[in-house]
């Protein structure tokens, strides 16, 4: 299953806010539509928002028109120069716009910088050529994401034993990427390689990515799973019912500290207490080598209504104070291994992560 499709200036996205009840698509034909899809959680998941931003920039760049382009027969060299400057001013504004959509997942920033970088390095070309180059780069980022996830799956599969019960958190599957997934890609790969696995899915309060999205994906693939509430995981770990935990990541610092969906830190501490391996599966584009440790990661604070309401129905008294951090940071000491497309890395991460690039 593919979470997005791009064709002729239109980005078609599965509307994840409607799942699991309805499988519906929305069409984005302006860059602002794509931005709204990211902020409105129509699309989410670190790799997917990066790819959507890349296509969004391409759509925004393609819409750029100047009088010099419109009447190319009359254009002068100075017209061309000012148009190019205007084009790049516009491109920069679009990039800034996408960087403001969500703060934690580094893939968004990585993708925007990659698109802007390729445009700048081709500045000598015509505006139409640069537009084409931007689109091709977005398509490359999309196809790389799929092959990267396959490689993460294969590398992670080597860590999964026959007859394992694997606990996972949030959604890290096809709906969080372009296809296949990261942590869920490892689970898919273990299932495809014939291992008899069972998955325990955390519902992932408050946004319920586990129950709404991961359960939906696993059901489609006929991978055996059971859904639990987040506060049940410690119980099952203590009873010896969990063989390993696999989660994704939104940003990994150079020392391995990992920001991921709220609740991940508690899972990692519980796994450590119960001697259960705790794996993080993510593409190398999720590693932020510009930061030394996880304290530098901005944690997104989301709308209190995600906690006080379910489908617009109040489940808490009106007017109360709420805290709603969307992510937390797991210190590297709780992580047994980080699975990437380039291989599996073990502690000490501050020494070993750098060897991946």
Active site residues: 250
Q: Other C-beta atoms within 10 Å of 129: how many? A: 11
Round to whole Å and give the CA distance between 213 and 14: 12
Q: Is 53 in the site for ligand MRU (CB under 6 A)?
A: no
Residues near ligand MRU (CB under 6 A), total: 17
Q: Is 153 in the site for ligand MRU (CB under 6 A)?
A: no
8 A C-beta contact, residue 130 and residue 319:
no
Residues 25-44 close enough to bind ligand MRU by CB under 6 A? 44
| For ligand MRU, the closer CB: 61 or 246 | 246
| For ligand MRU, the closer CB: 4 or 249 | 249
Sole binder of ligand MRU in the list 58, 101, 111, 177 (CB under 6 A): 177
Q: Is 111 in the site for ligand MRU (CB under 6 A)?
A: no
| For ligand MRU, the closer CB: 61 or 253 | 253
Cβ at position 111, least distance to ligand MRU in Å: 13
| For ligand MRU, the closer CB: 47 or 56 | 47
Q: Is 212 in the site for ligand MRU (CB under 6 A)?
A: no
What residues form DSSP beta bridges with 5?
Answer: 12
Element (H, E) at 287: strand 287-288
Q: Cα separations (Å) of 257 from 102, 172, 173, 305, 331?
A: 20, 18, 22, 29, 5
Q: Is 209 in the site for ligand MRU (CB under 6 A)?
A: yes
Nearest position to ligand MRU, beta carbon: 248
Q: Is 137 in the site for ligand MRU (CB under 6 A)?
A: no
The candidate with the shortest Cα–Cα distance to 285, out of 147, 154, 169, 180, is: 147
Residues 246-275 close enough to bind ligand MRU by CB under 6 A? 248-250, 260-261
Cβ at position 332, least distance to ligand MRU in Å: 17
Would you give the DSSP letter of residue 214? Answer: I
8 A C-beta contact, residue 18 and residue 24:
yes
Residues 56-95 close enough to bind ligand MRU by CB under 6 A? none
Round to whole Å and give the CA distance between 130 and 190: 42
Q: Is 172 in the site for ligand MRU (CB under 6 A)?
A: yes
8 A C-beta contact, residue 214 and residue 138:
no
Sole binder of ligand MRU in the list 54, 170, 179, 338 (CB under 6 A): 170
Query: Quick one: which segment of 169-177, 219-227, 232-240, 332-340 binds ligand MRU (CB under 6 A)?
Result: 169-177
| For ligand MRU, the closer CB: 105 or 339 | 105
Q: Is 47 in the site for ligand MRU (CB under 6 A)?
A: yes
DSSP string over 184-195: HHHHHHHHHTT-
Q: Helix, strand, coil shares of the chain as percentages rounded to 5? A: 45, 15, 35
Element (H, E) at 68: helix 67-70
The candidate with the shortest Cα–Cα distance to 209, out of 17, 38, 12, 1, is: 17
298-327 mask for ligand MRU (x: CB under 6 A)? ----------------------------x-
8 A C-beta contact, residue 241 and residue 248:
no
| For ligand MRU, the closer CB: 248 or 256 | 248
Round to whole Å and give the CA distance between 89 and 94: 9
Round to whole Å and give the CA distance between 344 and 154: 10
Q: Is 105 in the site for ligand MRU (CB under 6 A)?
A: yes
Cβ at position 225, least distance to ligand MRU in Å: 16
Binding residues (CB under 6 A) for ligand MRU: these are: 44-47, 105, 170, 172, 176-177, 182, 209, 248-250, 260-261, 326
């Amino acid at each position: 299953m593919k979470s997005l499709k791009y064709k002729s200036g239109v980005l078609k996205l599965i509307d994840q806010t409607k799942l699991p009840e309805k499988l519906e698509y929305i069409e984005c034909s302006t860059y602002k539509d794509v931005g709204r899809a990211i902020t409105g959680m129509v699309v989410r998941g670190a790799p997917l928002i990066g790819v959507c931003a890349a296509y969004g920039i391409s759509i925004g760049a393609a819409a750029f028109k100047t009088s010099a382009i419109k009447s190319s027969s009359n254009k002068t060299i100075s017209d061309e120069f000012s148009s190019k400057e205007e084009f790049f001013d516009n491109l920069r504004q679009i990039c800034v716009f996408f960087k403001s959509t969500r703060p934690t997942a580094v893939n968004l920033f990585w993708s925007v910088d990659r698109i802007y970088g390729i445009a700048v390095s081709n500045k000598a070309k015509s505006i139409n050529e640069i537009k084409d180059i931007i689109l091709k780069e977005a398509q490359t980022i999309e196809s790389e994401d799929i092959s990267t996830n396959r490689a993460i799956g294969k590398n992670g599969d080597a860590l999964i034993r026959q007859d394992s019960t694997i606990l996972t958190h949030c959604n890290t599957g096809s709906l969080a990427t372009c296809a296949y997934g990261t942590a869920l890609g490892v689970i898919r790969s273990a299932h495809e390689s014939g291992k008899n696995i069972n998955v325990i899915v955390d519902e992932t309060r408050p946004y319920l990515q586990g129950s709404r999205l991961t359960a939906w994906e696993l059901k489609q693939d006929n991978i055996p799973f059971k859904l639990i509430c987040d506060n049940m995981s410690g119980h099952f770990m203590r009873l010896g019912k969990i063989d390993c935990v696999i989660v994704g990541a939104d940003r990994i610092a150079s020392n391995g500290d990992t920001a991921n969906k709220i609740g991940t830190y508690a899972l990692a501490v519980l796994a450590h207490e119960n001697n259960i391996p705790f794996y993080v599966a993510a593409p190398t584009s999720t590693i932020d080598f510009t930061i030394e440790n996880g304290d530098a990661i901005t944690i997104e604070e989301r709308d209190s209504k995600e906690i006080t309401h379910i489908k617009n129905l109040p489940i808490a008294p009106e007017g109360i104070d709420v805290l709603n951090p969307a992510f937390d940071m797991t210190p590297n000491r709780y992580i047994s291994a980080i699975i990437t497309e380039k291989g599996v890395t073990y502690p000490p991460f501050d020494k070993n992560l750098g060897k991946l690039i």
